[in-house]
Structure 1
Amino acid sequence: MLNKSGNGHIMNKTRSLGLCGLATLLIGASSVAFAETDVPVDKVEGWDIYQGSENLGCVMERTMDDGYLVRLGKEKAGAPFGYIGVYTQNPDVNIYGGVTGDVVLDIDGQRFTGTAVGDLDFREGYRGGYLKANNPQFGEALARKYVLTLNPDDNPIKISLDGTLKAMAATELCDSYGVAVEDMGDAATLSALEANALASWNSLLEGNRRAARYADEAVAVMVFPEIKKAGLVVGGEAGNGVLFKDGQVLGHYRTSSLSVGAQAGAQSYGYAVMFLDEQAYERFFSRKRLELGVDASVAVFRAGITAEVDTTKTKVDTVAFVYDEEGLMANWTLEASRIRELEQ
């Protein structure tokens, strides 16, 4: 049985990845095939998620059981899913570099067309390339369907789409980071983020005495004033924040999560992370990253939590508060929320 969560499979005999099929396909490289400078950022449902070090666009890739490397991605940050790459290290496969051609793609009976170009040198002995789809519904079909067939009427290549639903959501979150980095290059955008973060922080302290008490102890604070649904095919949220220390802005950060618990009717929320001593702050600042729910030294406060955290008897040296305009929130969790510096 096929399962979009990644538990299903397709037998090799049904995949029909023939040698002449790839030669006919003529899929190939262009500016988006930035494999040599890809930076690994995640692994979801068997798919590896990479981000380009130059254009910050994200791709997902998987090596199939038969040795073919399949990549799904975008031409640049913010673009829709629009290309698929297939590569092989098999020297017997004929690849015609630089030759363009039209290709038909069938996804569980739904057909698309694309433009393909051959590539003779992808990476590590892989040859093949990628094609661009000419339909914005291509990405949705990749996420929701089970089998992609390239050239269905002539030497077909069948590719399992197991796990693409969640992996594409993770790729979207990765991609949103690239968009955020570009936005941070605008002075007005930076100024607005910092002003919103400061206003959000002050509102939290005015409305919550517990947060105010911890704020008196904190040596630094990171505030994410507005975290919104990222428009993913699977639930996920993302937003930008600011790191403050001694009244100064020390950096800008991005938080994202694929598994934030949804609250009915809620469109956005915010949270603040307080570092209660210099050691906690330096540990975070040296890595420029933090994953909530994984680091046991971080305690998260939500509505309905009444007990204080005794920081003298536990290893907790960082606290986080989840809130919206009405105060602390009960049904949101920060489990698996990742914080990453917005490098400019």
Structure 2
Amino acid sequence: MTVFSGFSRRAFLGATGATTFLAACGNGVGSPGSAQIDARVNSTEDYLFNNFPGTRDLANRASGVLIMPLITEAGLIYGGGYGRGALRVGGVTVDYYSATRATFGLQIGAQQYAHALFFMTEGALGQFRRSPGWAVGADVRYATPAQGASLGKETTEMEPVIALVFGQQGFIAGATLAGVKYNRIIP
């Protein structure tokens, strides 16, 4: 006896399980808006500055910093990810952004991580803010958390954007920002 005509019980359980899993990740979807995003960004920024001391100086030299407190990714051949965060200029939130990602390939699992984009030039920050949707490109330098304390003035003056991925949890190998698209949102 089938309750769902044309829709198998296995497909229903799979869809329900995937939806429940992503909802449980707590990435801010359906949250009360800017107050919750700001609270998460504040907490993530405190974690970043306290655990990787060089990042505070890096943020002070940057024209702006985009903090994405929680990106959630999941995949089984096809995958995707989503998160929300805030762009801060001079330590003040000026805009909110979402980050989305779609992937295809040999993958299975899920992970969560945080990341920060340090816009080291006014030009890079302006290009980011003017674009209808900005994707991480070749002009981004990736830094590891260990390098966060040693990114010198000479390095940062030559790089328009520095990306730092940290706080990974889960079981997809490697967190990267390739293919992530950022869009301004109104929470």
TM-score by length of 2: 0.69
Aligned CA distance change for structure 1 residues 248 and 216 (closer, same or farther; 3 Å):
closer
Unaligned runs of 5+ in 1: 1-110, 113-134, 142-178
> What does the per-residue CA deviation read over 1:123-174, in whole Å, with 9 as the maximum and x for residues that have no partner?
xxxxxxxxxxxx3779x59xxxxxxxxxxxxxxxxxxxxxxxxxxxxxxxxx
TM-score by length of 1: 0.40
- Aligned residue for 1:335, secondary structure, equals coil
- Aligned residue for 1:284, secondary structure, equals helix
Moved beyond 3 Å, runs of 4+? 135-138, 230-233, 259-267, 303-309
The alpha-carbon deviation at position 204 of structure 1 amounts to 0.4
Aligned CA distance change for structure 1 residues 283 and 260 (closer, same or farther; 3 Å):
farther
The alpha-carbon deviation at position 325 of structure 1 amounts to 7.2
Aligned CA distance change for structure 1 residues 271 and 137 (closer, same or farther; 3 Å):
farther
Correspondence 1:50-69 to 2 at 5 A: none
Report the equivalent of 2:174. 331
- Name the structure with the higher helix share: 2
Report the equivalent of 1:258. 102
Contact 1:263–1:331 (CA<8 Å) still a contact in 2?
A: no
Report the equivalent of 2:143. 301
Unaligned runs of 5+ in 2: 13-27
Kindly indicate whether residue 176 of structure 2 is the aligned counterpart of residue 318 of structure 1.
Answer: no
Report the equivalent of 1:237. 81
Q: Bigger relative contact order, structure 1 or 2, given CA contacts below 8 A and separation 6+?
A: 2
Q: Residue 281 of structure 1: which of 120, 125, 140 is its match?
A: 125
Aligned CA distance change for structure 1 residues 201 and 137 (closer, same or farther; 3 Å):
farther
Q: Which amino acid aligns with 2:114?
A: G
Root mean square deviation, CA, Å: 3.7
Distance in 2, matches of 1:254 and 1:331, equals 21
- Aligned residue for 1:279, secondary structure, equals helix
Contact 1:261–1:332 (CA<8 Å) still a contact in 2?
A: no
What is the number of residues matched between the two proteins? 162
Contact 1:263–1:332 (CA<8 Å) still a contact in 2?
A: no
Distance in 2, matches of 1:267 and 1:302, equals 17
Kindly indicate whether residue 142 of structure 2 is the aligned counterpart of residue 270 of structure 1.
Answer: no
